[in-house]
Amino acid sequence: MGNYRMTNDVEWSRLLPECKCRVRTKIAPLLKMLNQPQPDLGVGAGGDPLKNVDLAAEAAIIEVLKMHSVSFTLISEESGVREYGKNASECYVTCDPIDGTTNLVRGLPFYATSIAVSAEPRLDRVHAGLVADLFHDITYFAEKGKGAHRDGHKLIPSCNVSLEEAVIGVDLNSYKVETIAPRLSRLIGRTKHIRHFGANALELCFVADGTTDAFVDVRGKLRTTDMAAAWLILHEAGAVMTGPGGEMLNVRLDPRQRVEFVASANRQIHRKILSLITPGKDTA
């Protein structure tokens, strides 16, 4: 096993925040150059055009894990699936180095890094997760069985059960909006305060910390790399996240795997939201 550490020996609550710090340091000089012409870097494993910042953030995460002699399989939106070290099949690190790249590039102060750790490449096996708001330097972190925290403070989701009062995030960002929007029209019609900020990992953490009451993404477009860490943060905070039909989200962690979900602050509002969403062809 060479000099590599066993996954159980890794203190993820220290190592993942260290990854976040390095990501912030590495992207800082690039943020100052965004008004200059950007190189054409092709397309990442998740299917979107690659940007310098995405690659720098991914490299920062890998560097920290290597520095700490962690052997792992990386599942990343940018470079896909890659093995590092001799025991790579014992630890899976699923990341979206920058969630909200469009916001970052356009100067909108809402983008994140998302890193999830699991013993198998499956969502329900994620045991540590970090989502960090890189602009405001706010860190959400959870470990299985140990609760979820924002900068060290325990997360408490909202207990609001009124749809009329609720603030609900809805991602309608899709070329197929004519099939997605009708499925959500009853929900949108009942809710005064609909939002979408453009970095879904962070918007899921908003449900976990009580900022919003729910977040709905039934486009079938979001990658598991974007939501794996937030999935654990939500569950550990005591919030609820299922498929649009109420089913558990037992998906494979893979840059090509897409997922539809409803995340809610509590079970009562979750039931109300699900009852207003019309099933899609696949979920009927």
Enumerate binding residues for Ca ion (CB under 5 A). 77, 96, 98
**Judged by CB under 6 A, which of 99, 133, 143, 236 binds ligand IPD?**
99
Site string for ligand IPD, 155-184 (x = CB under 6 A): ----------------x-x-----------
> Is 200 a residue that touches ligand IPD (CB under 6 A)?
yes
In whole angstroms, the minimum distance from the beta carbon of 77 to ligand IPD comes to 6
Phi-psi region of 93 (alpha: psi -120 to 50; beta: other; left: phi over 0): beta
Cα 93 to Cα 120, 175, 207, 225, 278, distances in angstroms: 10, 30, 23, 10, 34
For the chain, the distance separating the N- and C-terminal CA atoms, rounded to the nearest angstrom, is: 48
**Judged by CB under 6 A, which of 23, 142, 199, 232 binds ligand IPD?**
199
The amino acid present at 251, given as its one-letter code, is V
> Is 58 a residue that touches ligand IPD (CB under 6 A)?
no
Q: Which residues contact 274 (CB under 8 A, 6 or more apart)?
A: 242, 244, 245, 246, 262
Tokens of 27: 């992207």
Q: Please identify, among the stretches 79-87, 140-148, 196-204, 249-257, the one whose residues bind ligand IPD according to the rule CB under 6 A.
A: 196-204
**Judged by CB under 6 A, which of 85, 129, 198, 243 binds ligand IPD?**
198
In whole angstroms, the minimum distance from the beta carbon of 78 to Ca ion comes to 7
Instruction: Write out the residues near ligand IPD by the rule CB under 6 A.
Output: 48, 77, 96, 99-102, 171, 173, 198-200, 221-222, 226
